[in-house]
Amino acid sequence: MSAPQPVHQRILLKLSGEALMGDDAFGINQATIERMVAEVAEVARIGVQVAVVIGGGNIFRGIAGGSAGMDRATADYMGMLATVMNALALADAMGKQGVTARVMSAIDIQQVVEPYVRPKALQYLEEGKVVIFAAGTGNPFFTTDTAASLRGAEIGAEVVLKATKVDGVYTADPMKDPTATRYTRLSFDEAIGRHLGIMDATAFALCRDQKLPIRVFSIVKPGALMRVVMGEDEGTLVTA
């Protein structure tokens, strides 16, 4: 009997910078990043093409106090540089686990990482490399959620996987309300109507317009990423 095949062949994984902190106040927790990379490596080895958009909140949080009153565009560019730092750390950790990763930046830092070029990104994915998109969209006033939606649409991802610390979208905060229940599936219109705040409005609208599904799941739950790509009931699926 042949082994079960993944239902998704190309995914866009959205990781927040905070997901890399573990229990630390800011920065990168090495044990946390190694565990996450192991999950990504597992799905990459069964042939799933994986692209990642990484946030920078874990690093920017450490300097946020000094940024009070700063020009918004300047602060956003600082945040973009933080995502590049996270992307380099993620690629390094992947290399140590035998996974080839390529970092592509939306802002030009060619001495450090290569620029984002869509055909090159597609080539890397088809070669089985993990592609890590850094620096958001390259523009201030746009979040890395929007970058995830944009890059997902550009590379033809079948789904955007929003990795969080909670295993899906709930009717209420499950940490505060033990009666809260998880939605297994929602339409975009239902999510908007219920003000669920799954992604920022720009990112959400882009996914809806491009008919690009979003699945919210827990990156801290062991094996959750594999269960998602295999089509199991994991997290919450938001679709048209």
Read off the CATH number of the domain in which 102 is found: 3.40.1160.10
pLDDT over threshold 90, residue 67: no
- Binding positions for UMP are 56, 76, 137-144
- Binding positions are 14-17, 56-57, 61, 76, 137-144, 164, 170, 173
Kindly tell me the sign of the dihedral angle through the C-alpha atoms of 3, 233, 204, 136. Answer: negative
pLDDT class for 19, splitting at 50, 70, 90?
Answer: confident
2 is a domain residue? no
pLDDT class for 64, splitting at 50, 70, 90?
Answer: low
Q: Tens of pLDDT along 148-200?
A: 999 999 999 999 999 988 899 998 888 888 899 999 999 999 998 888 889 98
Contacts of 150 (CB under 8 A, 6+ apart): 137, 206
Q: What percent of the chain has pLDDT over 70?
A: 95
Question: In this predicted structure, what is the pLDDT of residue 68?
Answer: 63
pTM metric for this prediction: 0.93
198 is a domain residue? yes
- Helical segments of the chain, H only: 30-44, 57-60, 72-96, 118-126, 144-155, 188-193, 201-209, 224-229
- Binding positions for ATP are 14-17, 57, 61, 164, 170, 173
1 is a domain residue? no
How many angstroms separate the CA atoms of 20 and 74, rounded? Answer: 24
**Domain membership of residue 119 as a residue range:** 10-239
Question: In this predicted structure, what is the pLDDT of residue 2?
Answer: 63
201 is a domain residue? yes
pLDDT over threshold 90, residue 37: yes
Q: How many domains does the chain have?
A: 1
More confident residue, 27 or 11: 11
Q: What is the mean pLDDT of the chain?
A: 91
159 is a domain residue? yes
